Amino acid sequence: MLSKLFVAWGLMALSVVIHATGITVALREVRRHAGARLEARRWVWLFVKIAGWIVLLHLLEISAWAAVYVWDHAMPDLQSALYFSAVTYTTTGYGDLVLSREWRLVGAVEALTGILMCGWSTGFFFAALSRVVGAKGQERS
């Protein structure tokens, strides 16, 4: 069980690295546009791009967990592992696929990691929108 917790910790750390790197890239994009005088449709397009980027980050993190499940035979195939990982990471938890007893705690850590990463994404998205709205409000003054 302890070895599986180390695996879970490593995957959690990898998820944080992926997310931190991706959010840094997105932050640079927001900063690049923050002072610009853009019409509403361009701001909307910026947020569509950021949302797509954030979803891609989550998919990469889900894929990392799934790859380990397949590699260590916790799931029978990649398709099942991706599906299980997605419903676990997002805490949807359908329960139609389950991990063996020795892997259950890893699944719980994945769910906790997913909550944390989704919260981080939400916080970033809110901060980015606040920055844009703040910049637009200042340009009116």
- The answer to whether residues 111 and 93 touch, using CB atoms and an 8 Å cutoff, is yes
126 pLDDT tier (thresholds 50, 70, 90): very high
**pLDDT in the model for residue 31:** 84
Tokens, residue 115:
């909550």
Rounded to the nearest 5°, which phi and psi values hold at 100? -65, 165
Residue 136 has pLDDT above 80, yes or no: no
What single string gives the DSSP state of each residue in 53-111? HHHHHHHHHHHHHHHHHHHTTSSSSHHHHHHHHHHHHTT----SS---GGGHHHHHHHH
Mean pLDDT of the chain: 91
Chain segment 57-115, per-residue pLDDT in tens? 999 999 999 999 999 999 999 999 999 999 999 999 999 999 999 999 999 999 999 99
Which has more pLDDT, 114 or 125? 114
Domains plus CATH for the chain? 2-130 (1.10.287.70)
